[in-house]
Structure 1
Amino acid sequence: MKWNWQHQEWPKVSFDASILERHEAEFLKQGGVLLGAFKHLKPAEETELLADTATSEALTTSAIEGEVLNRESVRSSILRHLGLPSASRQGNSREEGIARLMADLLRGRHDELTHERLWRWHEMLMDGRSSLATVGAYRTHPRPMQIVSGPEGRKVVHFEAPPSERVPQEMDAFLDWFNGSERDLPPIARAGIAHLYFESIHPFEDGNGRIGRAISEVALAQGLGDRSLAMLATEIESRQTEYYAALSSASRGLEATGWLTWFADVVLAGQRRTLKWIEFLIAKARLLDAVRGKVNQRQEKVLLRIFREGPSGFEGGLSAGNYQKITGASPATAGRDLAELVELGALRRTGKGKGTRYWLAVE
């Protein structure tokens, strides 16, 4: 069996552009809606949206690769690297690294993609990794670069990338194609092909998935001429099994329609996810305005803490125990505070007894 890069026509892929026409049109339409909604936010809400969505993207693009990071540390670091006010919480090297990458994506979305920029991203992500022979440069090891699963002795090879000695010439060709294709391809097709192309080269020892998804974000932003605001990694993480299956299938040949159709659905869903986040921020502002002067410091602290979890809120809902832990209140005080928040219309209550849970009363 040949991998895609072993075919004579590589790296030229084929796809049915007519199948993607609806997706491309919807992407541009939804992109306009998102940017319009974004520009109607107050400055503080704009900052909050960028910080929250970038944090979600940082956490999920890392989670896809098996890394679990601290939300507050990542968010604080992103704000700091954007030059915005933030909490003083300092993240570890992995949290700082992904935060720096997200900040670079937000600031430099129109910058040309170069070897040096990719190497810099790799340094950000791999800071402090003593296990890697090469950081901030393409791989040079002689062993095959394989994607495998299964126990030792029964490993399954899902993909084998080009040998290390071919990586420099492959990356020269990739960057020439990427920087020269903005006018030739519609945004989703270009972003999807870029991701597949880069992942097929697999130029780094580690971090290829995160950098590949970042490259797709650059392509989408360039296609709109502004921030893409599509929560791509967040949406991919929710379909992780499909993601790997679609990539694996596409890596076996040069026909990419199936991969691009799947990718297009993910991009559009990512845009819808961001629109929900904007609607959530607007609902948050209305709710806080409605209860201003009617809640005590404990209640305000808890409302803000729940809002930081985003549209999905606390997983499983807020319990009285959560309230006590956040505020340090006694059980009796927590019960009274929660009852008042329900009466004010800030929270809604479900369940009974120990199963009682509280949810933000926003649609």
Structure 2
Amino acid sequence: MLHRTPRLSTADQHVLAEVASMRRALHHAVQQVPTKWTLGLRRHLTASAIAASNAIEGYRVDARDVADLMDDAQEKVDVSEANRAETVAYQQAMTYIQSLHAAPDFEYSKGLLNALHWMLQGHHPHKPAGQWRRGPVFITAAGDPHATEYEGPHEDDVSTLMDELIDWLNSGDMDSDPLVRAAMAHFNLVKIHPWADGNGRMSRSLQTLLIAREGVLAPEFSSIEAWLGMPGHTWDYYKVLREVGGPVYSPVRDTALWVRFNLRAYHEQTQSVRHRVDRSNKCWIQLDERRGALGVTEHQITALHEVAVTGRVRRSRYERAEGISEQQAQRDMRHLTRENLLTPIGNTKGRYYVPGSRYPQNVLDTAAARHTVRNPYEDIG
């Protein structure tokens, strides 16, 4: 038996309607600008999701370093080998999930989920990956390694429960909003806890996949993993999982609080992404308007824009983004450095570039513009 999808309250329905409206507006905003303008932002949003979801599990890598590792797993980035391996593995799984968002003849299966799990965990030589756990699972309470916060269902029940979940993913509650179904998919998978390790990231990845399959927004604009990875939100995330799920597998428990938590996450993440898209577009326009005065080419605007959006750029990423040769990318970086538009940091392969003394201040101000994210439930009387 799975946890059931709850009936939405009037407040929930109001928030869900606002999320739908904002996501449609965001889709329109993305579609109205050249694809080139959003490529860097798409990459950074994906990197932020990977960094946040891994951080929840204790693997901490700056989103900018994640973006570098996404381009080249062997990039010279100052991270531990364990963090590098976890980042590259999650990026592999996320790339596959993003590729499935519009796949024809798609269906959920045990094989799909186990394959995604192997992508996440297959690099661990002593942990079984891509197969159900063969023993009990206990979630330890924070700060007390001897206290059990949650006990998953018996290992003998896992296969049957996963059969039920797969059936539900393909045909269950189809009259529910896709965002609600995605939240329930996350909750049911994390509570079944079918693998020995990696269940949290798999559950968050499954939620992202369901949202992506909805088709309103590309996966990188849809995931709430970055929101969940914010320190205060991570605490709330664990708290609501604990409160709604109970100490043992209890599918009769009310899941309304979990869905409400996710609706808030959808709403606030969409607010943040829309602001980031707006800032990114404005930065590109401002740079392009000053292209002649700055003495740069259209290609070179890409490098300057990357610096505005993420704070730095590497030659290798600029080269890939523009599809130019290594020699041309090196010439462009030398030109931007001579013009004091960029300043190099570090040497050889580890080098990256930050704004130079002549980098337009109005662009940096636009990139740094603050915004307020509101909790949608606080506005409802």
Query: What TM-score comes out, normalization by structure 2 length?
Result: 0.72
Q: 1:222 aligns with which of 207, 213, 219?
A: 213
Give 1:36-55 correspondences, 5 Å limit: 36-55=28-47
Partner residue of 2:277?
278
SS of the counterpart of 2:50? helix
Report deviation, 1:58. Answer: 1.0
Unmatched runs of 5 consecutive residues or more in structure 1: 1-9, 80-85, 311-322, 329-335, 349-358
Structure 1 residues 27, 302: CA separation in 2 closer, same or farther (over 3 Å shift)? closer
CA RMSD in angstroms comes to 3.2
User: More deviation in 275-284 or 43-52?
Assistant: 43-52
Structure 1 residues 188, 345: CA separation in 2 closer, same or farther (over 3 Å shift)? closer
Give the whole-Å Cα distance in 2 for the aligned partners of 1:327 and 1:257.
Answer: 51
SS of the counterpart of 1:345? helix
Give the whole-Å Cα distance in 1 for the aligned partners of 2:73 and 2:110.
Answer: 33
SS of the counterpart of 2:222? coil
Structure 1 residues 88, 37: CA separation in 2 closer, same or farther (over 3 Å shift)? farther
SS of the counterpart of 1:17? coil
Give the whole-Å Cα distance in 2 for the aligned partners of 1:69 and 1:148.
Answer: 24
SS of the counterpart of 1:147? strand
Q: Is the 8 A contact 2:52 2:229 kept in 1?
A: yes
Partner residue of 1:345?
362
Give the whole-Å Cα distance in 2 for the aligned partners of 1:59 and 1:248.
Answer: 23
Partner residue of 1:24?
16
Query: What TM-score comes out, normalization by structure 1 length?
Result: 0.75
Q: Is the 8 A contact 1:182 1:223 kept in 2?
A: no
Q: Is the 8 A contact 1:73 1:90 kept in 2?
A: no
Partner residue of 2:317?
none
Letter in 2 for 1:272: Q
Q: Is the 8 A contact 1:199 1:212 kept in 2?
A: yes
Letter in 1 for 2:75: R
Structure 1 residues 181, 34: CA separation in 2 closer, same or farther (over 3 Å shift)? farther
Q: Is the 8 A contact 2:137 2:151 kept in 1?
A: yes
SS of the counterpart of 1:51? helix
Partner residue of 1:125?
120
Partner residue of 1:326?
345
Give the whole-Å Cα distance in 2 for the aligned partners of 1:360 and 1:193.
Answer: 36
Structure 1 residues 217, 360: CA separation in 2 closer, same or farther (over 3 Å shift)? closer
Report deviation, 1:32. Answer: 1.1
SS of the counterpart of 2:149? strand
Q: 2:87 aligns with which of 89, 95, 99?
A: 95
- The count of aligned residue pairs is 312
Unmatched runs of 5 consecutive residues or more in structure 2: 78-83, 313-341, 348-354, 371-381
Report deviation, 1:168. Answer: 0.8
Structure 1 residues 261, 278: CA separation in 2 closer, same or farther (over 3 Å shift)? same
Give 1:253-292 correspondences, 5 Å limit: 254-292=253-291
User: More deviation in 51-60 or 215-224?
Assistant: 215-224
Give the whole-Å Cα distance in 2 for the aligned partners of 1:293 and 1:326.
Answer: 26
Structure 1 residues 15, 362: CA separation in 2 closer, same or farther (over 3 Å shift)? closer
Identity across the alignment (%): 19
SS of the counterpart of 2:101? coil
Give the whole-Å Cα distance in 2 for the aligned partners of 1:201 and 1:31.
Answer: 31
